[in-house]
Amino acid sequence: MENKMQLYNTLTRKTETFVPHTDGKVSMYTCGPTVYHFAHIGNLRSYIMEDVLEKSLRYLGYDVTRVMNITDVGHLSSDGDTGEDKMLKGAQREHKTVMEIAKYYTDAFFADCAKLNIKTPDQVVPATQCIPDFIAAVEKLLEKGYAYIAGENVYFDTSKLQDYYVFSSQSEKELLVGVRDDVEEDVNKRNKSDFVLWFTKSKFENQELKWESPWGVGYPGWHIECSCIAIGRLGEYLDLHCGGVDNIFPHHTNEIAQSEAYLGHPWCGHWFHVQHLNDKSGKMSKSKGDFLTVSLLQEKGYNPLVYRMFCLQSHYRKPLEFSYEVLDNVNAAYTKLLKRISELKEEGQPDPAVMEEYQGKFQDALCSDLNTSMAITVVYDLLRAETNDSTKLELIRSFDQVLSLGLTDGVPKETSSVDAQLEAYVLQKIQERAQAKKEKDYAKADAIRSELLEKGIALEDTREGVKWKLLG
Ligand code: AMP
Ligand code: ZN
């Protein structure tokens, strides 16, 4: 099969031809959500772009098998081995068990994905269902001398590797070692960059989920789950591994360390990372609590696919700033586009020459490091092209297998746009109030709420963050 997909590879820091291990087949692994809270629209930016990548590969004719884990154990709030367990934090916040929290937020995640036309991967694997595999992998790493037991935890020994910081340039490597200096000291670690494979005795004594292991009752570290699930489901050679850029270090760095130590050979050839969605105050993050969700956008009257289009209009390797002003513009463009498409009539026979020409243009856009905004431009060019409506409709249907924007579904109902100026004002106030609360200035936080109330705007603190509505 002709390999024409040019795709940036974080590992080589180059845009290069994507070449799978077996011709025509692609094994693809995606780091799934940590299910202790709703996914915010930043998380979903990553999943939208990974969905487009999977669908592009299928469009090009590859036979793709895609696996995603669900992190329902082991992810600590620091991404390293410090801080609270995120799942436990979620359970305490909502006075539920960890498994109840996991089920609730896993279902919520897939409900959001469905609204955004994100296809469910071929296999979805919760980490808690694979504990024996993790234990077996840790045993093998100990046997091979890549792991050690200290303080009754099992650690990966990064000094056993020639190159642990695989994703970084030489100067960055020096910096990274330095960065870890201010990380909470774990006296059990032989090297600062070592990480936990299995926790037993630790400060997480009230951990709810624990399993028997050769090293005592405990639970797995976060990184081992992705290595084991990927190798277990997709084999020894992985073609493509995806995640958001925050996963590069330490999560993906540690995944490579463990997997290659375990397998004894290079593991994954191509690493795809999506840059972050930011709001005006910086990176959107679940732990901050006040984040934007798809349901919140819907409540404000936006069709979720408008957010998908918002994401597709910018390149996955560029940070993207969220604003309602831009979303409103995308909303207007989306409605207009769907209206134009809905006016096309099934008339005449599709013209094979035009079909080939535009399919080629569309594929070229996808093959240029997943240039989704260029792919959307091809749709606009096609609408202006000198050809019959049937050709246009046939092509748009085929492009929508990748774009998944509901292009031929007719004009959506949820298209009302909120008053952008009012929206910007209220969001500014919500941010000021969050900042005041963070600084424990509750008088100021209350004053902001009252100021808005006087203007007929009510704030509500919900599990999904702060919501607002106009009264009366
Ligand atoms: P988590 O549920 O925190 O494990 O994250 C799920 C996915 O979302 C991971 O691939 C993260 O890298 C990604 N992610 C986290 N924050 C953002 C953000 N602000 N923008 C885009 N992707 C993100
Ligand atoms: Zn992962």
**DSSP letters along 194-239, please?**
-EEEEESSSS-TT-S--B--TT-SBEE-HHHHHHHHHHHHH-S-EE
The residue whose C-alpha atom lies closest to atom 23 belonging to ligand 1 is: 43
What are the φ and ψ backbone dihedral angles of 146, each rounded to 5 degrees? -95, -5
**Gap between the Cα atoms of 198 and 355, Å rounded:** 55
Spans of the chain, pLDDT less than 70: 171, 174-184, 202-205, 286-290, 413-421, 463-464, 472
Q: Which atom of ligand 1 is nearest to the CA of 283?
A: 19
Q: What angle do CA 78, 101, 76 make, to 5 degrees?
A: 10
Domains and CATH numbers, the chain: 6-274 (3.40.50.620), 300-305+316-403 (1.20.120.640), 420-470 (no CATH)
What's the CA-to-centroid distance between 37 and ligand 1, angstroms?
Answer: 12
Taking the CA of residue 31 as reference, the ligand 1 atom at the shortest distance is: 10
* Residue 234 alpha carbon to ligand 2 centre in Å: 14
User: 47: closest CA among 225, 326, 294?
Assistant: 294
What pLDDT, on the 0 to 100 scale, is given for residue 416? 46
CA–centroid distance, 70 to ligand 1, in Å, is: 13
Mutational test site, ligand 1, from 41, 46, 293, 307, max ligand atoms within 8 Å of CB:
46
| C-alpha 340 – ligand 2 centre gap (Å) | 41
Taking phi over 0 as left and psi of -120 to 50 as alpha, with beta for the rest, 83 belongs to left
The verdict on the CB of residue 90 being under 6 Å from ligand 1 is no
Instruction: Kindly report the protein residue whose alpha carbon is nearest to atom 8 of ligand 1.
Output: 43
Measured from the CA of 320, which atom of ligand 1 is nearest? 20
Amino acid at 188: N
- Global pTM? 0.86
* pLDDT attached to residue 438: 84
Position 174 scores a pLDDT of 66
Give the per-residue pLDDT at 302. 95
Does residue 246 line the site of ligand 1, with CB under 6 A? yes
**In 22-104, which ranges are E strands?**
25-30, 63-70
Residue 84's pLDDT is 77
Residue 73, pLDDT score? 86
Nearest-CA residue for atom 11 of ligand 1: 244
Atom from ligand 1 closest to the CA of residue 247: 12
The answer, yes or no, to whether any atom of ligand 1 lies below 6 A from the CB of 45, is yes
According to the model, what pLDDT value does residue 460 have? 82
- Ligand 1 pocket member 33 (CB < 6 A): yes
Residue 183, pLDDT score: 56
Nearest-CA residue for atom 7 of ligand 1: 43
